[in-house]
Amino acid sequence: MNSGILYATSAFLCWGLFPLYFHAIDEVPPLEILAHRMLWSLLFLAIVLTARQQWKWLPKVLQQPRVLLSFVASALLLTANWGVYIWSVNHGHVIDASLGYFINPLFNVLLGLLVLNERLRRGQWISVGVAAAGVAWLTWQAGQVPWIALILGITFGGYGLLRKTAALAALEGLSLETMMLFPLAMIYVLWLSFHGQNAFINTPHDSTRWLLAAAGPITAIPLLLFAAGARRIPMAVLGLLQYLSPTMQALLGVWVFHEAFTTDRLIGFLIIWAALILYVAEGLWGSKRAK
């Protein structure tokens, strides 16, 4: 339990700083950044697996269609989450992206209820209802559904659930996911190169090339930490720790990237934060009573 909390906390602290990384390579189109994340991640993971002589699991997994199918699903959820997040950061929607990860813990609670048969207490139901009211307020004020936040919350919640119940450990599972994504990423990068649009080759900045190559460890290490933590702690605890990342991202959006934070948006965020505070308080009270 303690090691799981440490792993998950480290992952969320890393993700909280991600807007700085993607902003540093905003000259590269989001889809190409996504492709490079897949390519360099697999290279990094292959080096790790080779160094640890940890390839024996792969032939066995390839003979288990059900396991492969579950990792196809988690790979697709991960791709969708990565793509929307990169686009939102590079198009000035860091605060909207942070809202998605504020909402995500409550999706974890619902998934724990619906899929893992985890029971919700009255306070947890109330916190989910208050958060839904906050999303409804933001939708009404903006005149449109906060699709960035909802997509990020749903995709990462689903990914966390699949990784929690996965048949493979953190390193092997992430390696299998990136193996599945690698062919698509390679085809896309080769297509860009053939048409003279590969930013990795065309950029005049060596720093951009180094940052794109660093996408491997930058992507893989937090995901490994998250997957290792998700397997060791309940979904509710995972959701509690996850507040670290969106808080850091929201502060970066306001203070570093100077995104607009209107009164109407503030009210919506306050409602959702109230739901999270209620959820945390209820969890602490429940733990105290249990002791």
Q: Answer whether residue 264 shows pLDDT above 70.
A: yes
Over 90: is that where the pLDDT of 33 sits?
A: yes
Q: How confident is the model at residue 177 (pLDDT cuts 50, 70, 90)?
A: very high
Report pTM: 0.84
- Phi and psi based region of residue 205 (left: phi greater than 0; alpha: psi -120 to 50; beta: remaining): beta
Residue 180 above 70 pLDDT?
yes
Q: What is the mean pLDDT of residues 65-80?
A: 93
Angle, vertex CA 243, rays to CA 229 and CA 291, nearest 5: 70
The candidate with the shortest Cα–Cα distance to 219, out of 99, 72, 5, 48, is 48
Mean pLDDT of 269-284: 80
What are 119's two structure tokens? 């029971």
Mean pLDDT of 112-123: 77
Other beta carbons less than 10 A from residue 285's beta carbon:
12
